[in-house]
Copies of this chain bind each other. A is one copy, B any other.
Amino acid sequence: MRTQLAKRLGCEVPIFAFSHCRDVIVEVSKAGGFGVLGASTFSPEQLEQELRWIDDHVGGRPYGVDVLIPANYDKEAEASLGELERLIPDAQRQFLDGLLEQAGVPPLPDDERARVRQELAEGRGGMTPDGARRLLAVALQHPGVKLVVSALGAPPADVVALLREKGVMIGALCGKVSHAVRQREVGVEVIIAQGTEAGGHTGDIATLVLVPQVVEACPDIPVLAAGGITRGSQIAACLALGAEGVWCGSIWLGTRESELTPFEKDAIFAAKAEDAVRRRARTGKPVRMLRSTLSEAWEKPGAPPYLPTPLQGILYNEAHARVVRAGRRDLYSFPVGQAVGTMNEETSVREVMLRMQTEYLAATERLAGLWEE
């Protein structure tokens, strides 16, 4: 399954792994795939540290970095956390506090609360136009970085020009054909067509429908299929649709190398496909995540309206920390795709990579065999 894109990027198989965890990135790239580090919540100093660690461990294999590059100057994104917190209305704050109190989830101790708040404030830095460019500057100091992906769609012209000059490929995620067309127009070189079954922020259109339409709309650049993919048969399916590779996120959460705690992994292993629901409780925009009593409470009649981004996320952040600290599976949620239904026990990145390739082989042989039936 070595596609043109895999050759161009210098990996063996076009399996792209999105993860916030450097160990996953290293293991995927070492196993012949292509790890892409989700970097937007790191400070420039943290990112430098992560990339240096990856360089030290990846044995010269290529990898990528995923940042959120806002196309337009967004004044709100520059606001301080304190300013934003003051914009959260009492109704929503009381609704969420009330839910947790009723469920017997204690508030955070003051020091823990300060730490969670500090992490959020630092994490927001990378989502401003300037912050994203600082992260990009760090990434470009590392010659192992062969691909930069914009998770916020069409990147600004100066970023495209800079990456082209440096010879680093630029990719972008899309959830609709019109996004892909726009991204191609501004110079994006790899489109990641992400279906509704994906974890995290996701649109409405399913991978099986989206991928062939994006391939048709952008015939001259490679398209990766994303959303719902954990098996080699699905990789064969997506290449049959015209994709040049696949982009997977959820599957790595259940590996030994993943950053999740055992509590979080157990919640994921217990979930079925239908437990990964698209809800606005986490950020104000639809995020596919584990269903929880908290995510569902906000959907019920009588719940207050969701807040706009970033206020909903700021409000949710502390509640999430309280739930994790209390070890409350019933209230716990995490962004994950419908593929969660196929993740039932801890594995390793290496096992996943080998299993996917074995399944891919079986699927393509099955398809070839149908000619003779």
Which of A's residues lie within 8 Å of B, judged by CB?
1-4, 7, 176-178, 195-197, 203-210, 212-213, 227-229, 231, 233-234, 236-242, 272-274, 277, 301, 305, 337-339, 341-342, 363-364, 366-368, 370-371, 373
Contact = CB atoms under 8 A, between A and B. Distances in A.
A195 B208 contact: yes
Contacts of A371: 364
Contacts of A240: 233, 236-237, 240, 363-364, 366-367
A51 B212 CA distance: 36
Contact of A241 (B210, B337, B339, B363): B363
Contacts of A233: 212, 240-242
Given A208-B234, A227-B208, A2 B339 contact: no
A277 B286 CA distance: 15
Contacts of A227: 206, 208
B177 A341 contact: yes
A209 B373 contact: no
B237 A2 contact: no
Given A177-B341, A236-B240, A273-B209, A367 B367 contact: yes
B368 A368 contact: yes
A272 B177 contact: yes
Given A177-B341, A231-B212, A274 B370 contact: no
Contacts of A7: 373
Given A204-B274, A373-B4, A209 B338 contact: yes
Given A213-B273, A342-B213, A368-B364, A196 B203 contact: no
Nearest to A337: B209
Nearest to A197: B206
Kindly name the residue among A4, A337, A367 whose own CB sees the greatest number of chain B CB atoms within 10 A: A367
A341 B213 contact: yes
